[in-house]
Amino acid sequence: MFGFLKKSRKPEPEPESASPVDAASDTPETEALAAETRPSADASPALVPEAAAESQADPAVEPQPTTSEVQAPAPVEAARPSWGERLRAGLSRTRGGLAGLFGLRKIDEELLEDLETTLLMADCGVEATQYLTDALRARWKRDRLETADQLRDALAELMADLLAPLEAPLDVSAHQPFIVMIAGVNGAGKTTSIGKLAKYFQAQGRSVLLAAGDTFRAAAREQLETWGARNNVTVIAQDKGDSAAVIFDAVNAARARGIDVVLADTAGRLPTQLHLMEEIAKVRRVIAKAEASAPHEVLLVLDANIGQNALAQVKAFDAAIGVSGLVLTKLDGTAKGGIVAAIARQHPKPLRFIGVGEGIDDLRPFAAREFVDALFARGSVK
Ligand SMILES: Nc1nc2c(ncn2[C@@H]2O[C@H](COP(=O)(O)OP(=O)(O)OP(=O)(O)O)[C@@H](O)[C@H]2O)c(=O)[nH]1
């Protein structure tokens, strides 16, 4: 049940010619150092001449890489199950252990112990599990619950209360452009989530610009351009640039064009890679140089399959870049959906979005009650 660690298929195949960036000149650390000392660029949509002008003005500065933009036709979507159905189906593995527990069985200490084990196995973590089972024990006595089904309903209520503080949808109306920086470990689903978010914000009538700030993984730029193409939005990228410089240009381009939302990708990194954590902190500082109030949101993308490890990631990324919101991907197919309860209890951060699949509509704002209803397969699915 816990061995599910499937690395899902990318939306586009890796290009055959993709090669890693030049290790001597383009390590994230040196990229960021270079970017921090880079002079401010004027807000201008003509990014290529701007880069050329910069290198002419200061011959000591390396020529800036060519910035490109990609636009493509609108996507065609096939009919699919509703979000509620996908969420419910996605949480089926996490629900698996819980489902067998209840029914007409009588409530007793054995049932509560079984429940405790099940919550731990679903990666709720020791603290949230203890909190939920203690509260449940109190309700059992106070409300004189008799059947296991009544206990399940009480658990669902307690869980909904526990998760409610995480429900804080991202409001991008406070700034224009609203700059969102996206971070996380390798393969967490950053680039894919950016693609989904682009569509989400567009559906709200907002214009979106994507910054291909993952300059470390060779295929990441093309992957983002594919997602940009699916959403018909501009992607700011550079042939051979550094993350901070790409995002810096994207912020200026967005301001010049009156764009509403900038979604800035960054390279995946592990919290234990201290030099890379320092590099991403510098990326954040460079964004603030382009726009003093930015980034307006720092989203940490977490793969639900990692379970309890998510807590360590929240802590480390928060210390490095000040995480303001979370995206929890791949809730489909994992038995570790209980990690949401652990986050609520141990590192409460707004859970802005949850992902339950690879489709472009498979990412939505987190809603505590909807999540709990799906987890316990109750309520009317919409
Ligand atoms: N099943 C499922 N797969 C997902 C979900 N979100 C992302 N993925 C898949 O996870 C894989 C990795 O996603 P990416 O977006 O490339 O991850 P990344 O964080 O950008 O990766 P790096 O650039 O290597 O750091 C892809 O195959 C995605 O399709 C989800 O909610 N459910």
**What is the ipTM score, two decimals?**
0.98
CATH 3.40.50.300 residue ranges of the chain are 28-32+67-72+169-367
7 C-alpha vs ligand 1 centroid, how far in Å? 8
Residue with more model confidence, 65 or 148 = 148
Higher pLDDT, 313 or 380: 313
The confidence score (pLDDT) of residue 71 equals 57
Instruction: Say whether pLDDT at 46 is over 50.
Output: no
pLDDT for residue 223: 87
Q: Average pLDDT of 89-97?
A: 87
- Statement: residue 120 has pLDDT above 90: yes
pLDDT tens per residue across span 57-81: 333 333 444 555 655 455 555 567 8
Q: What CATH fold (topology level) applies to the domain 28-32+67-72+169-367?
A: Rossmann fold (3.40.50)
Q: Which atom, in ligand 1's list, is nearest to the CA of 11?
A: 29
Query: What pLDDT sits at residue 27?
Result: 37
Under the banding of pLDDT at 50, 70 and 90, the label for residue 133 is very high
Percentage of the chain with pLDDT > 90? 64
Mutate which of 6, 8, 185, 361 for ligand 1? The one with the most ligand atoms within 8 Å of its CB, which is 8
Average pLDDT over residues 160-173: 98
Flag whether 191 is marked binding.
Answer: yes
Q: What is the pLDDT of residues 361-373, one digit of tens each?
A: 999 999 999 999 9
Q: Decide: 50 in ligand 1 pocket, CB within 6 A.
A: no
State if residue 226 touches ligand 1 by the CB under 6 angstroms criterion.
no
Report whether 306 contacts 313 (CB < 8 A): yes
Distance 189 CA to ligand 1 centre (A): 3
Index of the ligand 1 atom closest to the CA of residue 217 = 23
Does 184 belong to an annotated binding site?
Answer: yes
Count the neighbouring beta carbons within 10 Å of the beta carbon of residue 109.
8
| pLDDT at residue 193 in the model | 95
Tell me the CA end-to-end span of the chain in Å, nearest whole number: 28
pLDDT of residue 377: 85
Q: Is the CB of 186 under 6 A from ligand 1?
A: yes
Q: How confident is the model at residue 228 (pLDDT cuts 50, 70, 90)?
A: confident
Q: Ligand 1: distance of its center to the CA of 344 in Å? A: 23
18-34 pLDDT, tens digit each: 333 333 333 333 333 33
In angstroms, the CA 272 to CA 294 distance is 26
Say whether 268 counts as a known binding-site residue. yes
Long-range contacts of 17-23 (CB under 8 A, 24+ apart): 18/218, 18/219, 18/222, 19/218, 20/216, 20/218, 21/215, 21/216, 21/218, 21/240, 22/240
Q: Write down the pLDDT at residue 7.
A: 35
% of the chain beyond a pLDDT of 70: 78
- Indicate whether residue 195 lines ligand 1 (CB < 6 A): no
At the fourth CATH level, the homologous superfamily of domain 83-166 is SRP54, nucleotide-binding domain (1.20.120.140)
pLDDT at 119 (0 to 100): 94
Task: From 192, 301, 356, 364, give the residue whose CB has the most ligand 1 atoms within 8 Å, as the site to mutate.
Answer: 192
**Who has greater pLDDT, 34 or 334?**
334
For residue 222 and ligand 1, the question of a CB distance below 6 A is answered with no
Where are the domain boundaries for CATH 1.20.120.140 in the chain? 83-166
d(CA 212, CA 264): 7
Mean pLDDT of the chain: 81
What is the predicted pLDDT for the residue at 163? 98
User: Which pairing describes strands 351-355 and 297-303: parallel, antiparallel, or unpaired?
Assistant: unpaired
Nearest CA to ligand 1 atom 6: 189
For residue 8, give the amino acid letter: S
Supply the pLDDT for residue 219.
85
Higher pLDDT among residues 102 and 265, named by residue? 265
For residues 274 and 333, the model is more confident at 274
Select the more confidently predicted residue: 78 or 324.
324
- Assess whether pLDDT exceeds 70 at residue 235: yes
Rounded alpha-carbon distances, angstroms, from residue 94 to 1, 2, 22, 187 = 9, 10, 43, 21
Neighbours of 107 (CB within 10 A): 21
Q: Is 373 helix (H, G, I), strand (E, B) or coil?
A: helix
Q: Please give the full DSSP string across 285-322, using - where no structure is assigned.
A: HHHHHHSTT--SEEEEEEEGGGTTHHHHHHHHHHHHH-
pLDDT > 90? residue 49:
no
pLDDT, tens digit (0-9, with 9 covering 90-100), for 302-321: 999 999 999 999 999 999 99
- How far apart are alpha carbons 67 and 64 in whole angstroms? 9
Cα of 162 to ligand 1 centre, how many Å? 28
